[in-house]
Structure 1
Amino acid sequence: MRIFEVHKKSGVSDSHIAIKFKGRVYTYGEVDALIDKYASYFQSIGVKKGDRVALSFPNCPEYIFSFMGASKAGAIVVPLNMMLTLEEIGYIIMESGTSVLVVHPAIAQKVDKSQLARLNLKNVVIMDENTVNEILKMKSPAPVDIESGEVCAFLYTSGTTGKPKGAMLTHDNFVSDVKMLYDVSRVIDLGPNDNFLTVLPLFHSFSWTVNVLLGLYLGSTITLKETFMPKDTLETLIQEDITVFCGVPSMFAVLMRMAEKGQFKALRLAISGGAPLAAEVQRGFEEKFNFPLVEGYGLSEAAPVALLNPLDPKALRKPGSIGFPLPGVEAKIVDENDNELPVGEIGELVLKGPNVMVGYHNMPEETAKTLRNGWLHTGDLAKKDEDGYFYIVDRLKDMIITGGFNVYPREIEEVLLTHPAVLEAAVVGVGDPLKGEEIKAFIVLKEGAEADRRELQSFLKDKIASYKIPKYFEFVKELPKTPTGKVNKKLLKQM
């Protein structure tokens, strides 16, 4: 099965509602027809099998149709994080070999056309009303021979070198993850009567796989929102008979404070991912609303879900745990020599399964290091208890997860070091009850130089995405070092 076929599996009628967005309703029959029309449109502008098509959209149905349509035309889709700067997007476009960029009109208005012209794109499509009307006139696309094992998308994830890595995911990777989630969901009979509220950005693999692909595979309804707005989300959860809500921990913390007991009459499942879920948030949420808040674990390289707590309300869910591997996924804890560790010992979490990527685009050394001995090395430190539940303990690398987004300190440090007043910079994550972590920068200024928090934040504004800009700055005379001369970030986190 290819991803543009997942909506056909459920067998629901063509008149069943697939997507709701701003008062507009799309049935399963319309979705099927629109995927064909978008595929035909991409073919009409010269997209051929293997071409890269990048998408930059807020949440909207056109993103789904563009992704599915481009895939059906044989393209490899490159979802773009809307929060990246044009410089960061430019790197991804060039590295991926993207030839067609499809953008929402709201984003197109903010784009510097002269910079865009330097990206060697064959075509830039503004998905405005005129383009949509043109697409609606399209006929059936020419058939393209696409094997399920072929690459479907490049999902770019931040790298420790400061440059994003393009995880190459096949149709099989995505569909396998969906099928495994479907098998797990059978215990609570998710299906056509369910309504998934989607506020997480669709460019995020968690949202794309769990909300869109799984939702369509089940024959459910997907209620789309452009973004997470606490009051609007609360009202939608109550008024739209939402039954499934996927979010990051900070969203559940906010909703727990805002909502009253008994307000979520239809909601029966909440899934948290993207960052560690605080045990007190999970306990408080479940006690207040009397339905499960289930934590899982995933990463882009695994399409993304790999482990999940039981969905059955009667089953044991251990606060702080990421649960069990999905059926079909293998997980174990290993030491630095890749030897499996016994119960309770901390080591690196490694994974194996049909959802694991085929590698990183144009990065054979990174691929060999990450897909070592047939296992995906996650870079996360974890442990397993005597009941088989897994727990994330820390990260091998210094990655910060803030509000569900992965941030690598070195990328920020390298930009800070280009400021004329900065001699040394070290970035760490500090605990935050809403976002999981906030970003803090320790700065050593050059002798006689001056700079403050506002100046450095302003300096970073056009160079990195807003969510990567440190909230806190501490100016110090020197950074603590290890005997080998490396910055001791463990000590920094304690300062």
Structure 2
Amino acid sequence: MKIYEFFEKNAGLKDHVAIKFKGETITYGDLPKYVNSYAAYLQSLGVKKGDKVILSMPNCPEFVFSYLGSAKAGAVTIPLNLMYTMEEIQYVVKESEADTIVVHPVVLKNVDISAFGKLNLKNIVVLSDDTKKKIMEHDDFKQVEIDDDEVCTYLYTSGTTGKPKGAMLTHRNFEADVVAMDEISDLGPDDNFLCVLPLFHSFSWTVNVLFALYLGSTVTIKDNFMPKDTLETLLNEDITVFCGVPSIFAFLIRMVEKGQFKALRLAISGGAPLAPEVQRGFEEKFNFPLVEGYGLSEAAPVAMLNPLGVDEIRKPGSIGLPLPCNEAKIVDEYNNEVPVGEVGELILKGSNIMVGYHNMPEETEKVLRNGWLHTGDVAKKDEDGYYYIVDRLKDMIILGGFNVYPREVEEALMEHPAVREAAVIGVGDKYKGEEVKAFIVLEDGMTADRKELQNFLHDKLAKYKIPKIFEFVNELPKSPTGKVLKKLLK
């Protein structure tokens, strides 16, 4: 099944709302017309099978129409991170060999259209009201033969270790991920997903859009996360499923009273590690699941989830169990599987795993070895088969010959009542090689100092793991999905 066919299987729900956005509704009966018109319009511009189409737009229905329309025309769709600079955009355009870009007018408030004009693109489509009307006049879509194993998307990774890499994903990769999530859930047409995370991010696109449309659910789209608006929507618009990042759930614990959520029945956390105390606090207060999962762009992106059912076991601090489409192992540096409870690198195998990085055979060979995706994440597995991320291999601090995993230190710090957020990095030390440094965001109205936090950690961590350097800050730099940008801290 191709990604643009996910919603087509719900043709019997023609009067059921597929997308809600700022008072506008698009039904499952309406959706094919929008997708076909966008596909036909791109064809009229000369876009053909195998061409690359970049999308630069905030959350909106047109993002969905453009993405699915581009895929239906046989093109490879490339969603662009809205935080990219023009230099980064130029890199993606050149590396992907794209010749078409679809731009929302909102983007042009921050980037002059003339800058896009210098990118040697064949087509620059600005989705003005007039252009949107013109697009919907196209009803002459010409069917394209597309195989499920053909690449439909390049997802450019964050590039924390160099230039972004374009993970090449097929229709089958997305289908495997979505079908696997359906197998472990009881969600369906009666559900309403609230989408506030950016759609250019794979977590939001796969779960909030592809999964929801596959189920026949409603997707309520917000152009971004605004705390007050998000809160009012969750309380008043019959939202049943909400995907967020850990900081959003910590916010909801503080701002929502017990019993206020009337319809919400499932929350899914991704994008960054979920602190165990946030999960416990959320579930104890609201009495429905807050489920932590794990994924990466190379896996389309969801690879693991804690069980979704109210009565099923979710383990705080765990990323859960592999999806039915995945196998997982923890291996040592020699690729040997390690015993239960020991740490090693998490590797994955399954039908949702990318085919490789665009134009980067050497990088592809590094991560795809013997059919397994090497994630670069340090993890462990318990006796029940639940997995736990310990840290990123590249974030590990080596202090006088000892390994320190920042996430372990961060989670210990987060147990202090005055600490809202913590980020730990290694900084150079001429005697030990590296020293442990913690950046701390305190709860409003609360105080703590270096000595107090060090004493607090005394019974929780080995002495060498306790940060020697503390910096108290008002906020931590984050990506649009809430992941702390440690390269900026460094």
With normalisation by structure 1, the TM-score equals 0.82
Return the offset for 1:441.
Answer: 9.9
Structure 2 residue 149 is the aligned partner of structure 1 residue 149: yes
Return the offset for 1:328.
Answer: 2.1
Aligned counterparts of 1:92 and 1:439: Cα–Cα separation in 2: 31
What amino acid does structure 1 have at the position aligned with 2:362? Answer: E
Aligned counterparts of 1:392 and 1:102: Cα–Cα separation in 2: 37
Structure 2 residue 477 is the aligned partner of structure 1 residue 480: no
Match among 198, 215, 219 for residue 218 of structure 1: 215
CA contact (8 A) 1:35 1:68 kept: yes
1:411 maps to none
What amino acid does structure 2 have at the position aligned with 1:308? Answer: L
| Deviation per residue, 1:13-54 (Å, 9 max, x gap) | 211100000000000111111100000000011111111100
Q: Which structure's relative contact order is higher, taking Cα pairs within 8 Å and 6+ residues apart?
A: 1
2:188 maps to 191
Structure 2 residue 83 is the aligned partner of structure 1 residue 134: no
Aligned counterparts of 1:12 and 1:482: Cα–Cα separation in 2: 69
Return the offset for 1:132.
Answer: 0.4
**Structure 1 pair 394–441 and aligned structure 2 pair: CA distance change class (3 A):** closer
Aligned counterparts of 1:88 and 1:392: Cα–Cα separation in 2: 30
CA contact (8 A) 1:331 1:352 kept: yes
Aligned counterparts of 1:437 and 1:376: Cα–Cα separation in 2: 30
Return the offset for 1:491.
Answer: 6.7
CA contact (8 A) 2:426 2:436 kept: no
2:321 maps to 324
- The residue correspondences of 1:93-492 to structure 2 (distance < 5 A) are 93-185=93-185, 189-398=186-395, 431=410, 479-481=428-430, 488=434, 490=436
| Secondary structure in 1 matching 2:99 | strand
| Secondary structure in 1 matching 2:267 | strand
1:86 maps to 86
For the aligned residue pairs, the C-alpha RMSD in angstroms reads: 2.1
2:472 maps to none
Return the offset for 1:315.
Answer: 1.0
CA contact (8 A) 1:156 1:165 kept: yes
What amino acid does structure 1 have at the position aligned with 2:235? Answer: I
Which ranges of structure 1 fall in alignment gaps of 5 or more residues?
401-427, 443-478
**Structure 1 pair 224–200 and aligned structure 2 pair: CA distance change class (3 A):** same
Aligned counterparts of 2:325 and 2:39: Cα–Cα separation in 1: 32
Return the offset for 1:116.
Answer: 2.3
**Structure 1 pair 45–435 and aligned structure 2 pair: CA distance change class (3 A):** farther
What amino acid does structure 1 have at the position aligned with 2:317? Answer: G
**Structure 1 pair 494–37 and aligned structure 2 pair: CA distance change class (3 A):** farther
| Secondary structure in 1 matching 2:252 | helix
**Structure 1 pair 215–12 and aligned structure 2 pair: CA distance change class (3 A):** farther
| Secondary structure in 2 matching 1:98 | coil
1:75 maps to 75
Aligned counterparts of 2:87 and 2:127: Cα–Cα separation in 1: 22
| Deviation per residue, 1:83-127 (Å, 9 max, x gap) | 111111111111111111111001123223443233111111101
What amino acid does structure 1 have at the position aligned with 2:198? Answer: P
Aligned counterparts of 2:389 and 2:10: Cα–Cα separation in 1: 34
CA contact (8 A) 1:12 1:192 kept: no
Which ranges of structure 2 fall in alignment gaps of 5 or more residues?
398-405, 439-466, 470-490
Aligned counterparts of 1:350 and 1:482: Cα–Cα separation in 2: 34
What amino acid does structure 1 have at the position aligned with 2:393? Answer: L
| Secondary structure in 1 matching 2:395 | coil
**Structure 1 pair 482–360 and aligned structure 2 pair: CA distance change class (3 A):** farther
Identity %: 64
1:64 maps to 64
**Structure 1 pair 52–494 and aligned structure 2 pair: CA distance change class (3 A):** farther
What amino acid does structure 1 have at the position aligned with 2:277? Answer: E
**Structure 1 pair 439–36 and aligned structure 2 pair: CA distance change class (3 A):** farther
What amino acid does structure 1 have at the position aligned with 2:205? Answer: W
Aligned counterparts of 2:62 and 2:396: Cα–Cα separation in 1: 32
What amino acid does structure 2 have at the position aligned with 1:37? Answer: S
With normalisation by structure 2, the TM-score equals 0.83
| Secondary structure in 1 matching 2:429 | coil
Aligned counterparts of 1:69 and 1:96: Cα–Cα separation in 2: 19
CA contact (8 A) 2:177 2:325 kept: no
Return the offset for 1:482.
Answer: 7.5
Aligned counterparts of 1:111 and 1:303: Cα–Cα separation in 2: 29
